[in-house]
Structure 1
Amino acid sequence: MKPAINQIKIAIIEDDVILREELSQFLQSHHFIVHEVNNGLSLGDLLLNKSIDVIILDLNLPGQSGFEIAKSVRATYPQIGIAMLTARTALVDRIKSYEYGADIYLPKPTPPQELLAAINSLARRIGDTKPDGWVLHAQSGQLISPNDENTIQLIAVEMLLLKALAQAPNHSLESESICEILSEQLAMETMTKRSLENIISRLRKKIQPALDGSERRIIHSVWGTGYQLYLPISITNS
């Protein structure tokens, strides 16, 4: 089911504090739920915890560029609408933005009513695109195999583990980072590497029976470092 337009949840990724706050106040006045972050790393943390329908994204950001963020979001959250809002107006930037996953490209300054119309347009599209491959439903904790042939019910720690790896660069994280993420998200005592190994072992056994012949690896151990996710997973917050 598509969310009603006034229930749309928006993330603004903008490092200009004044502009970010102005956009947030304007959108909240139109009854949107708005979250503010200033870089790609903070957006990643937000997506681990919140359901987001549309992101408003600047190109010039500290750390990851808007291009890199758009590419990552589009690969992992194909249902999220992406609106570029940037002072960069060169044709090459517009083309590259669309190639990296943007739905709409708006130059700064854009009249607030035009931005509102763009978001409403994206809201009408949300839910129309069905992800290919494996889909992780973050709210229900269900992992759905391609063509909806198998549904695997995950416990919270398994869902968070898959979500963290799916969002990570190259789908790879060090063991220490995974333990920190899971400990923080689950509000538990520090998770040990041994506990993490046990969780991954159980998760592999859960998923293995649903694999087809072309899929051999689920989560691969990277010797001396951590783990890499090989199963192609997109995430939906439904």
Structure 2
Amino acid sequence: MRILMIEDDAALARGIAALLRAAGHAVDHVATGEDALAVVSGEPYALVILDVGLPGIDGFTVLERMRRRGDRVPVLMLTARDALDDRVRGLDLGADDYLRKPFDPEELEARVRALGRRRGGDPVPQVTVGTLTINRSTAQAEVSGRAIDLRRREWSVLEALATRAGQVVARDLLLAEVFGYDEPVGPNALEVNVTRLRAKLAPDGPEIRTVRGVGYLLDPRGR
């Protein structure tokens, strides 16, 4: 998923970003509410991780303004506060989940996965496309029972295509979901990952078709 993290604690932000990137996500980071409001609507984020205690515009205000202008992206709020009123306020403003600091990394990962599945309209972690099965909780994939060894970016591309199987996914959308805005991206980075995926899905998996000038489609019918 493409995730926006809004956190002013630089050390914590680096740790969360490293954790989520290792799990296959693209992560963008801003440290203030002002910056968050400037970027959140312009990118196809699947999830926002929002700290309550931001300098200037706090997390509650950021969330309120997002929802007021129609941003429906799922929001996981982080807080060092333990007050019930704060949790209730965040949920009433439109937060999808709440996590209190300090938290266990595994719990953060699990909540991120759950919110990502909910956004896709499918709370079940397993997705089947023809002979391909992917598990979004474990980031594992199989074709006809054969495990596929995937690199982080390959997994991100495959998940994006598999959850939209049979639909054309625009190249620009794939790039935006797989790579963060501060990550160096070569001109053929997406094509390289698609080529590797095709080889790993062959000979009995679904086919990734190129729709010239538009993007890619994962064909459930296979070859």
Say whether 1:79 aligns with 2:72: yes
Q: Report the residue type matching 1:118 in the other structure.
A: R
Q: Report the residue type matching 1:67 in the other structure.
A: F
Say whether 1:69 aligns with 2:62: yes
Provide the C-alpha distance between the structure 1 equivalents of 2:34 and 2:13, rounded to a whole number of angstroms. 17
| 1:145-188 CA-partner distances (Å, limit 9, x unpaired) | xxxxxxxxxxxxxxxxxxxxxxxxxxxxxxxxxxxxxxxxxxxx
Corresponding residue of 2:10: 17
Structure holding more helix per residue: 1
Whether the 8 Å contact between 1:85 and 1:107 is mirrored in structure 2 is: yes
Of 30, 41, 53 in structure 1, the residue corresponding to residue 34 of structure 2 is 41
Provide the C-alpha distance between the structure 2 equivalents of 1:39 and 1:33, rounded to a whole number of angstroms. 19
Whether the 8 Å contact between 1:79 and 1:126 is mirrored in structure 2 is: no
Whether the 8 Å contact between 1:14 and 1:57 is mirrored in structure 2 is: yes
Structure 2 counterparts to residues 1-238 of structure 1, below 5 A: 8-128=1-121
- Mark the CA change 1:56 to 1:68 in structure 2 (over 3 Å): closer, same or farther: same
Corresponding residue of 1:186: none
Provide the C-alpha distance between the structure 1 equivalents of 2:8 and 2:25, rounded to a whole number of angstroms. 20
Whether the 8 Å contact between 2:41 and 2:71 is mirrored in structure 1 is: no
Gaps of 5+ in 1: 1-7, 129-238
Q: CA deviation at 1:10?
A: 0.6
Gaps of 5+ in 2: 122-223
Q: CA deviation at 1:78?
A: 4.2
**TM-score, normalised relative to structure 1:** 0.49
Q: CA deviation at 1:127?
A: 4.3
Whether the 8 Å contact between 2:4 and 2:40 is mirrored in structure 1 is: no
Provide the C-alpha distance between the structure 2 equivalents of 1:22 and 1:77, rounded to a whole number of angstroms. 30
Q: Report the residue type matching 2:52 in the other structure.
A: L
**Could you say what secondary structure the match of 2:95 adopts?**
coil
Corresponding residue of 1:135: none
- Mark the CA change 1:106 to 1:81 in structure 2 (over 3 Å): closer, same or farther: same
Q: CA deviation at 1:79?
A: 3.0
Percent identity between the two aligned chains: 36
Moved over 6 A (4+): none
Provide the C-alpha distance between the structure 2 equivalents of 1:78 and 1:47, rounded to a whole number of angstroms. 8
- Mark the CA change 1:37 to 1:52 in structure 2 (over 3 Å): closer, same or farther: same
Q: CA deviation at 1:61?
A: 0.7
Provide the C-alpha distance between the structure 2 equivalents of 1:127 and 1:90, rounded to a whole number of angstroms. 31
**Could you say what secondary structure the match of 1:11 adopts?**
strand
Provide the aligned length of Structure 1 versus Structure 2.
122
